[in-house]
Amino acid sequence: MTAIGSVAAAAFAILYGIDLVTSRPPSHGGGRLLDYLFFDANYITDAVPSLGGMIAAVLGIVITVVSIVVQLSASRFHGVATMFLRDRTNLGVMGFYVIACVCGVMVSLSLRADFVPRTTVVGMMVATMVGLVLMAPYFAYVFWFLEPTNIISRIRAEAVSTAAEGSGRASDRRCEEAQARVVSAMEELTDISSNSISGKDKIIASRAVDALKDFAVEYVTSLKKEAASRWFDLGPGIRENPDFVAMEAESRRDLVERRTWVEWKVMRQYLGIYSEALATMPDINYLIAIDTRYIGEAAAAQDDDELIELTFRFMNSYLRATLNARNVRTAYNVFNQYRQLVEAMMRKGHGKAAAAAVQHMKYYGHVSYDMKLSFVTETVAYDMGTLCEVAHEIGLEEHDEILETFLELDRATSRRSQERALKGVRKAQVKLAAYYLAADDRDRARLIYHDMEHDPPDRLIAIREELERVETKDFWEII
């Protein structure tokens, strides 16, 4: 705006200076600037009313353009109009134009034949110039304001500030209002993600998913420990929310006792988005698994055992939905995030949670085998083997329990009808045994030997030959 105004002022000054030099108009004394501001009472009455009309015309243009673009944006993102009208910049600009219009009317009625309010007229002239110059930068601000990524960032920031206010020492009424606004923000981000998935807009969908994660992580790391106890109750503002109404009364009580309704709601939104994206935009599924892992890692850093358990429950739900859809590629990527989350639990001292998660991995390995998804079963086997290596590396107390679970993975795959899946599991176990031997842990390597000693010799020979042919750690395809 400054640049535009400066260019306009400079252009006028140059042209006006040329006129002063060439035309040499009579001076009233006091310099050329005062000559310019010496308004003639006989002619100023024609010019002043046009100032008010001009600023009113600009206000009409601004309102027309803004209303159109805001309405178009509101058709995609609910709540944009309310957000727009709460923004201080928008209120300030609109207020300026309205005040300038009112002042224009008042100035036009203040002129008399024997009196010209020069200061008032100059002020009105300046306001009109500012209104004209402000129009283009304000349009740029409006378009920036309505960019989807900025809308998402603003919703997330408002959710964080609202949660901070409501979870603090606010009154019961304000706490309940804050709960309702936080839930509304989560659902608004979910709507943005769902609409973007329907419109094949992966970038916006990803930003909305990440915004939910950013809110959850900031809440867990910065707000939750300092929150007042009433914040964790399900207030009347959210008790009637469909997600909470659909739960059993006991489950709702558990959310209150475990203090996890905020995180549950975030990941419940994730589960809905996950189901929508499973068939059309698998990259969003990968991102949801990654972001859920981040939430779990934040919970581990805060020693929030209830949230850790909740995180794994939702990760398990992702796996169930993926296997039901028989989506092998997505299952591979989700298991990768699952394994990394279990590793994080191990390294941060949550061995029991890690051991329980490995049990879940074994279960889904068996499920994938029953569904004849042998590649998924092999993926589970190699991930469990990697976790055993990590447990050995850090000296985890639950190491033997995790190893025992790994050796049970092939129990449900003992039928020869799916030899490929069984061989994949056995190769992962042989690989782990080789690691133990390299680490001079013969006792655990011997456990694997005893688990395999009754396998048919032809299978063991085939496994050895396949492993000996391996020359690189990378698979020959991009997964």
pLDDT of 375-432, one tens digit each?
999 999 999 999 999 999 999 999 999 999 999 988 544 455 566 678 888 888 989 9
The residue with greater pLDDT, 13 or 478, is 478
Q: Which of 87-101, 112-126, 277-291, 362-376 has the lowest mean pLDDT?
A: 112-126
* Residue 58: per-residue pLDDT: 87
Among 269, 279, 358, 361, smallest CA distance to 322 is for 279
* Residue 109: per-residue pLDDT: 63
- How far apart (Å, rounded) are the C-alpha atoms in residues 228 and 364? 39
Q: What share of the chain is helix, strand, coil (3-state, %, to 5)?
A: 80, 0, 20
**pLDDT of residue 208 exceeding 50:** yes
Three-class SS state of 439: coil
- Listing DSSP states for 90-158 in one string gives HHHHHHHHHHHHHHHHHHHTS-BTTB--HHHHHHHHHHHHHHHHHHHHHHHHHHHHT-HHHHHHHHHHH
Tens digits of residue pLDDT in 428-477 = 898 999 999 999 999 999 998 888 887 778 877 787 877 777 777 776 67
* Residue 34: per-residue pLDDT: 47
pTM above the 0.75 mark? yes
* Residue 26: per-residue pLDDT: 52
- How far apart (Å, rounded) are the C-alpha atoms in residues 79 and 347? 42
* Residue 260: per-residue pLDDT: 94
**Region 210-221: what's the mean pLDDT?**
96
* Residue 247: per-residue pLDDT: 87
**pLDDT of residue 251 exceeding 80:** yes
Over pLDDT 90: what percentage of the chain? 51
Q: How far is CA 23 from CA 35, 37, 214, 383, in A?
A: 14, 18, 67, 89
Tokens linked to 344: 């994080």
* Burial of 190 per CB tally in 10 Å (0-12, 13-18, 19+): buried
**Region 298-325: what's the mean pLDDT?**
96
**pLDDT of residue 269 exceeding 90:** yes
**pLDDT of residue 16 exceeding 90:** no
Tokens linked to 301: 């850093």
**Region 283-310: what's the mean pLDDT?**
96
Tokens linked to 456: 């048919």
- How far apart (Å, rounded) are the C-alpha atoms in residues 348 and 417? 41
- Dihedral sign computed on CA atoms, order 178, 184, 187, 188: negative
* Residue 453: per-residue pLDDT: 82
pLDDT band for position 353 (50/70/90)? very high
pLDDT band for position 154 (50/70/90)? very high
* Residue 19: per-residue pLDDT: 45
- How far apart (Å, rounded) are the C-alpha atoms in residues 356 and 401? 10
Highest mean pLDDT among 15-19, 45-49, 94-98, 355-359: 355-359
